Amino acid sequence: MNRLFANLASTSIVVGLSVEDSSRSKSVTNSDDLSDCACSAPVPTLGGKMPEIFFANRISELDTLCNPGRGPLLLVEAPSGYGKTALLNRYREICISKGDLCAMIIVGNSGETLIRQRIAEQLSIPLSPTDDLALARLLRDLSSGIVMLFDNLDETEVTIKEWLVNELIPLCSQHCDLRVVLSLRNPDSDPQANPNSEADTPYLFLGYERIKLSPFNSGVIKQLIEETAKKSPPKGRQISRDETEGWAQLILRLSGGHPASIVNLVRELSEGWVLTKQHKQQIELFKRHVVPAIDHVTENIPKDLLDALEVLSVFRFFNLDTINYLSQERLLGEIDPLVFLQRLVRTGLVSKREMSPFYGDAIVRNLILTRMHLLDRERYQSVNRAAQAFYISQISQVGESGPKTGPYRPEELLKLYIRESLYHCFQQALTDGSTAQKTKLLLTCLSNHDQLYIEVLRFLGEDPLAPRSMYRIQSIVRSDADLLAQLKENDIELSLILELYPKHIPEDSRDSTSTPMDSVALKQDNLFRQALESAYTIDELNILTTTLGVRLEVIVPKDKTQPLTIMELVGYYRRLGRFPELVKAAYMGKPDNHMLKQFVEDYFNDFLTPDSGS
């Protein structure tokens, strides 16, 4: 088995590089007012028109702000460029239209006196308050409800934040009907990660109801494109649905879902209603519209941490073992792994929970990862090779330690590590080359990992229990949303890969893991398996199984005197890597069997749940 580990580690996918420009681009970052606004001021098009980007994807958040049943203290939380300022501006318009008094203060680096003056000015209070109590008393004399919106608190000194949250707002709330909304990029960040700034109080915003803004998805991007096309339509032609879908997918891939970057890309699209598919031109689009957003989001992170985040962005999750490995491989420099992890957590970008998606905001990872993928392919490949080698080392440790007790069963860890190693192998295979070249590399990935899976299961004393080895890897690939999306993006059909895969395996290695039960089943169920795979309803399943002389509830192997129970049948499906609907079908065949119901529920909890989070 050690030889197999060594072979797989040494044959990581290496593909030819074709990078037109791998230099790092340093662009001037947008101002906060522009980069933080999902519908900032329109820019002129080539034809002199001014397309307007409408208020998108924030309806539910706006409803939350407008709901009088919500508490009086709200906090809008999102990274730069998500549209926090746009949301507050829209809410301010609604408040004023309802007759409420509303003050929106861009706090920034303002001091106490200036903040009080701005509140008084925006609420049309003629006197300038000299202190907090004076302002509170002036607010008491106002007849209507008062709303205060405080934007751009990230640049504010800690002492001013503490004064605002702990002194001014509570005092004013005692004297009037007040609702307060704060806006921050990351309330939980600890600027101690940056040695040039002070530490925030961790519990400063404890009493605030949080509203987290989500990234834009392809549906929102399509809506943006359609609405923009209505206001600035292309001359002499209609935009097809396929065009809109293609543009939306390209913009989502380049932007990672970052709202401000999406808005800018849609604006550029509206100038001529053409977005290039050429790699070199896509790099230029990325540099113009996405790199400034990355620079802005990460501007306060020290360089060593930012470099580490780029390396770690390749991993879908990580823990201290990952950092230890990367440090030993000299990908993170000479560091104390535990101290380094603590510094990463203090940035607010890294989750504190072990083995969880390590970015608190997935867009940050997407942006950094996309930058490396587009602008530094060689490094992207290198880090993915290191990531795959890390998971292979973890797989070998599962095999060497053998069965043991703990929070994870060895087979669960094995499946997790196989899945992640396969993921990083796919990343290398899909980076460059033609569809045929990528397909060949993907088949190699599948074959190598399947052999590895078999070796470790045998070492653990587990029976692989699969009529054909492809079902095990097929289950892993089908349950991994990231891999499915990447195959679609590269115009590669999963069904084609899985069809070619058994043919790709050398004849002498096929069915090497068959058990006596598998051997019996194979003789009678080739047609049965094909029928099941093409059946989608219970009725179809009953018709097909009846045609084959097999009842839905029972399979009777020729060498067994007793039929399999329905529970054994469900277990049989499980060994074959069957899809959940087959288990549901077996369950629905006898809906009154409470023992069966419990068995199926346990099956879903114990077997399907780990896959669903892939």
pLDDT in tens, 412-470: 777 888 889 999 999 999 888 888 888 888 888 887 887 777 776 666 666 554 444 44
User: CA 111, CA 129: separation in Å to the nearest integer?
Assistant: 14
Rounded to two decimals, the pTM is 0.62
Provide the 3-class DSSP secondary structure of residue 350.
strand
* Separation CA 268–CA 285 (nearest Å): 9
Q: What is the rounded CA–CA span in Å between residue 84 and residue 474? A: 42
Other C-beta atoms lying within 10 Å of the C-beta of residue 504: 15
Is there a contact between 127 and 165 (Cβ–Cβ < 8 Å)?
A: no
What is the reported pLDDT for 458?
66
pLDDT tens per residue across span 372-397: 999 999 999 999 999 999 998 887 77
pLDDT (0 to 100) of residue 189: 62
pLDDT digits (tens, 9 = 90+) for 273-295: 888 778 788 899 999 999 998 88
The domain segmentation of the chain, as residue ranges, is 1-19+376-514, 32-54+215-297, 59-212, 300-374, 516-612
Q: Which two tokens stand for residue 71?
A: 């508490």
SS (H, E, C) 154-197: CCCCHHHHHHHHHHHHHHHHHHCCEEEEEEECCCCCCHHHCCCC
Report pLDDT for 352: 62
The 10s digit of each residue's pLDDT in 490-540 is 888 877 776 676 655 544 444 444 433 333 333 333 334 433 343 334 444
**Superfamily in which the 59-212 domain is placed by CATH:** P-loop containing nucleotide triphosphate hydrolases (3.40.50.300)
Contact indicator for 417, 395 with CB cutoff of 8 Å: yes
Closest CA to 430 of 484, 496, 391: 484
Q: CA dist 185 to 26, 75, 81, 202, 313, Å? A: 22, 10, 9, 15, 20
Note the pLDDT of residue 360.
59
User: Residue 24: is its pLDDT beyond 60?
Assistant: no
- 63 versus 80: the higher-pLDDT residue is 63
Helical pair 566-575 and 594-603, crossing angle rounded to 10 deg? 10
